[in-house]
Amino acid sequence: MGDMINFETTPSQYRHWRVEYDGELARLIMDVDETGGLFEGYELKLNSYDLGVDIELADIVQRMRFEHPEVKVVVLQSGKDKVFCAGANIRMLAGAAHAHKVNFCKFTNETRNAMEMAETESSQKYVAAIKGACAGGGYELALACNHIMLVDDGSSTVALPEVPLLAVLPGTGGLTRLTDKRQVRRDLCDVFCAMEEGVRGARAHQWRLVDEVVSNSKFDETVAARAAEFAAESGKASHTGIALPALQKDIAADGSVRYSTLEIEVDRPGATATLIIAGPETAPPADMAAFVAEGADAYMLRLARELDDAILHLRLNEREAGLLIFRSEGDPAAVLAHEALLHDNADHWLA
């Protein structure tokens, strides 16, 4: 797993997800390409995922917020029969270095957090529509949604089988979301995490593992109706989004990276990396309408996207850099002026 990992992608490059937009509703369909692993040596069977699958998901969540602010409800479902998601790919994890496993879990956790933030910060509610087996990281993905619906077909289940199968605890927030977010009793959590077969139907609802259990014959129409209800209850106004083009960056053989707003200098012998942030060279937009007109070229948004990409790049591709040093250049007053525009318009959808 020594190839450089690129955290940028675009909808035209997706191999594992499909997104269907319909006004204020969107359908996010997980349909993982078994042969589309980020590395060699494993197949992504049963809608299992690796870092490449989650890089696409992170891109979708971000684009949903910035490019499609009109969306109020996102229905997450599987594009495969009899399986929702089997979680992280075990063969991928078996062949990965410890550092990659840690960073993989960090990234997947941050992506789940971003899904939850999409509701609190952008009023986009995620609904998990589960048909088939939903296990491990697959159930943790569903737990990141705001509402979970499970089909009652006698075979579909939710499970966190990591302890009985692998002798490890769930790695991307499952236990925390069960107890803190869903308020599941701790004794039931103990039993649930010891059950390899998982829980189905009415018991899953009784234990608060899901929000609704619906018969197979009425499942699709009930999911559609519930999504429409949530959209109607949303007080979110409709807006026109902004495009998120590819970032401008150049990566040199010595590890240095140059973006439009920052530079990375890597000292591999010293195990450090220095991020040099350049302040804005122009005055801030006159108002938020001008900010929206600038779109992804607006300094604050450009810096945020580039800094996020830079930190991810260092975390996964320069793992020996144990110390990150931040420096800044430019006029502090100019930075404060750009920041003040967003601060003074905190209720604007793009702020």
CA 299 to chain centre: 24
CATH class of the domain comprising 11-233: alpha beta
Instruction: Check whether 271 has a pLDDT greater than 80.
Output: yes
Instruction: Check whether 6 has a pLDDT greater than 90.
Output: yes
Helices 332-344 and 299-317 pack at an angle, to 10 degrees, of 110
**Predicted pLDDT at 170:** 84
| Average pLDDT over every residue of 58-66 | 98
Q: Tell me the C-alpha distance between 316 and 320, whole Å.
A: 10
Burial 133-165 (b: 16+ CB within 10 A, else e): bbbbbbbbbbbbbbbbbbbbbeebbbbbbbbee
Q: Which of 158, 157, 164 is nearest to 194 (CA)?
A: 164
Dump the DSSP string for 148-168: EEEEESSS-EEE--HHHHHSS
**Predicted pLDDT at 177:** 95
**Predicted pLDDT at 212:** 98
CATH class of the domain comprising 249-344: alpha beta
Adjacent-strand bridge partners of 129: 149
Q: What is the mean pLDDT of the chain?
A: 96
Instruction: Check whether 1 has a pLDDT greater than 60.
Output: no
| Average pLDDT over every residue of 283-311 | 97
**Predicted pLDDT at 81:** 96
CA 7 to chain centre: 12
Name, in order, each residue with C-beta under 8 angstroms of 166's C-beta and a sequence gap of 6 or more: 90
Q: What are residue 206's phi and psi, to 5 degrees?
A: -60, -35
Q: Are the C-beta atoms of 127 and 73 separated by less than 8 Å?
A: yes
Question: What would the pLDDT profile of 320-341 be if each residue is shown by its tens digit?
Answer: 999 999 999 999 999 999 999 9
| Average pLDDT over every residue of 21-38 | 98
The pLDDT confidence band at residue 2, using thresholds 50, 70 and 90, is: low
Sheet holding 323-329, edge to edge: 249-251, 257-259, 262-267, 272-278, 323-329
Instruction: Check whether 174 has a pLDDT greater than 90.
Output: no
Domains of the chain: which residue ranges?
11-233, 249-344
Question: What do you get for the CA distance between the two ends of the chain, in Å?
Answer: 38
Taken as a whole, the chain contains a residue count of 351
| Average pLDDT over every residue of 223-241 | 95
| Average pLDDT over every residue of 19-38 | 98
Name, in order, each residue with C-beta under 8 angstroms of 144's C-beta and a sequence gap of 6 or more: 112, 113, 115, 116, 126, 173, 177
Which segments of 187-248 are extended strands (E)?
212-215
Handedness of CA 134, 89, 246, 249 (dihedral sign): positive
| Average pLDDT over every residue of 14-20 | 98
Instruction: Check whether 116 has a pLDDT greater than 80.
Output: yes
Q: How many CA atoms lie within 13 A of 85 on its CB side?
A: 29
Question: What would the pLDDT profile of 183-219 be if each residue is shown by its tens digit?
Answer: 999 999 999 999 999 999 999 999 999 999 999 999 9
Helices 51-66 and 98-122 pack at an angle, to 10 degrees, of 20
Name, in order, each residue with C-beta under 8 angstroms of 289's C-beta and a sequence gap of 6 or more: none
The pLDDT confidence band at residue 172, using thresholds 50, 70 and 90, is: confident
Could you identify the residue written with the tokens 């429409």? 228
Q: Are the C-beta atoms of 333 and 281 separated by less than 8 Å?
A: no
